[in-house]
Homo-oligomer: A and B are copies of this chain.
Amino acid sequence: MVTLAEVARHAGVSASTVSYVLSGKRSISAVTRQRVRDSIEHLGYHPHAGARALASSRSRVIALMVPLRTDMYVPVMMEIAIAVATTARVHGYDVLLLTGEEGPAAVQRVTGSGLAEAMILMDIQLDDERLPLLRGGGQPAVLVGLPADPSGLTCVDLDFTATGALCADHLAELGHRELAVIGEAPGVYERHTGFAERTLAGLRDRAARHGISVLHRPCGGGYGSLVGTLGRIFDERPGTTGFAVQNEAVVEPLLALLRQDGRAVPEDVSVVAVCPEQVATQASVRLTSVAVPAQELGRRAVELLMAKLRSRPGEEVVLLPPELTVRDSSGWAPDVNCR
């Protein structure tokens, strides 16, 4: 292994000079700098990460805790994770991948050992068990998601309350009076995962103001679950004409089932989805949707973390405003004359 000392010898300078060439923390004459750089190149030198972390007490690693569960839409998680990794690299950081499996202990282990300087947590529950550790607050952290009490924490998320409201507004404007919400798997609500409950609350609240009814049904993944769910929705509220879907895994099955039922989209029923753009545009009917900005969330999380690593400000909550894109799946309610 090539060491800094060898580079120094080869370049005919001292170790500290090489170190400063690398860090840029003091000025070096152009000629020396170049000689050092040549030696580094020539010898194929890579600074030893452990030694560096030991001497500087900065590992240049952040940890990312992803959920172990598989009942939520995985591509969104993956997209966030990749955006985190990519953005971290831009800032000179690497990313350690932790699964939720170890739970709060992982937080201790990783930051306690100096393996990571800071962490990003995903899949936040309203009353998440990892939060007390973070709030006490040795280790800088950013949550992708919003717990019930964000005090003393830094969070970034899509504004799901506003998202729900936006869906309600859109369907209300089109004259729909009876809405159904097809949600995530029951487990997601049982765990009190913030985003799912917030969307629902936002939608319900806004629908109430419009004086329209809302029926919410969680739904497992896949065609099989949806058949039952949809059947029960129409049994209970035959007049349902507006659907809000927050469950990517049933988007296509829903469109297929409606088609089979002889219900045309958007002539007979309208569908609004909360999902990534790709899902919305690739569906069999191009979906009116509120995009989940996965990349943006990952990027922002890292940037907030980097800011915290510099100076430790208090709490901060960044809620990205939702945007609804009208496509082909929503239209006037059947009983509305097109004004």
Please, which residues of chain B bring their CB within 8 A of the CB of A255?
256
A83 — nearest CB in chain B belongs to which residue?
Answer: B99
Question: Does A102 sit within 8 A of B, measured CB to CB?
Answer: yes
Please, which residues of chain B bring their CB within 8 A of the CB of A68?
82, 86
Q: How far is the CA of A282 from the CA of B140 in the complex (A)?
A: 41
Please, which residues of chain B bring their CB within 8 A of the CB of A46?
108-109, 112-114
Decide if B85 touches A283 in the complex (CB within 8 Å).
no
Question: Does A74 sit within 8 A of B, measured CB to CB?
Answer: yes
Q: Which bucket holds chain A's interface residue count?
A: 35 or more
Please, which residues of chain B bring their CB within 8 A of the CB of A44?
112
Please, which residues of chain B bring their CB within 8 A of the CB of A57?
1
Please, which residues of chain B bring their CB within 8 A of the CB of A97?
64, 81, 85, 94-97
Q: How far is the CA of A86 from the CA of B112 in the complex (A)?
A: 20
Given contacts A96-B96, A260-B259, A278-B221, contact A50 B284 (CB under 8 A): no
Question: Does A292 sit within 8 A of B, measured CB to CB?
Answer: no
Please, which residues of chain B bring their CB within 8 A of the CB of A281?
222
Q: How far is the CA of A243 from the CA of B195 in the complex (A)?
A: 39
Please, which residues of chain B bring their CB within 8 A of the CB of A61?
96, 115
Report which of B52, B79, B89, B282 forms a contact with A223, defined as CB distance below 8 A: B282
Q: How far is the CA of A222 from the CA of B259 in the complex (A)?
A: 17
Q: How far is the CA of A253 from the CA of B282 in the complex (A)?
A: 10
Q: How far is the CA of A6 from the CA of B112 in the complex (A)?
A: 15
**For window 40-67 of chain A, which residues contact chain B by CB distance below 8 Å?**
44, 46-54, 57, 59, 61, 64, 66
Q: How far is the CB of A143 from chain B (nearest CB, A)?
A: 19
A100 — nearest CB in chain B belongs to which residue?
Answer: B82
A110 — nearest CB in chain B belongs to which residue?
Answer: B94
Decide if B283 touches A223 in the complex (CB within 8 Å).
yes
Given contacts A89-B101, A221-B282, contact A50 B47 (CB under 8 A): no
